[in-house]
C-alpha cells in the first residue's frame, strides 16, 4: 500500500490513504482515507480496509469539535 504522509497538514488529501508523520517508521498504525463524497475511512497499515467509517457530516462535526 502506498501511503501519503500528512506532513503537518490539518486536512486530508482526497483519494489518498494517509498516516501521521509521527508514525513514519511504525509498521502497524492507523490510516485515513477521504473519498470524493467526504466520507472518511479509518483503517490500519496491516489491514488496509475500512475498520471505521465516518459520514461526511460526522467527520465535519468531529473536525469542528476538535478545533474548538
Total domains present in the chain: 1
Q: What is the pLDDT of residue 68?
A: 56
What residues make up the domain containing 45? 4-67
Phi, psi of 39 (to 5 degrees): -75, 140
- Per residue in 17-61, pLDDT tens? 888 777 777 878 888 888 888 888 998 888 877 889 999 888 888
Report the alpha-carbon distance of residue 58 to residue 55 in Å, rounded: 5
**pTM here?**
0.70
CB within 8 Å of 2: residues ≥ 6 apart: 17
Amino acid at each position: 500500500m502506498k501511503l501519503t504522509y500528512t506532513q503537518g497538514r490539518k486536512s486530508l488529501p482526497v483519494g489518498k490513504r494517509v498516516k501521521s508523520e509521527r508514525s513514519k517508521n511504525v509498521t502497524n498504525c492507523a490510516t485515513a482515507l477521504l473519498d470524493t463524497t467526504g466520507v472518511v475511512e479509518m483503517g490500519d497499515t496491516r489491514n488496509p480496509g475500512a475498520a471505521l467509517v465516518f459520514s461526511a457530516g460526522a467527520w465535519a462535526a468531529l473536525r469542528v469539535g476538535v478545533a474548538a
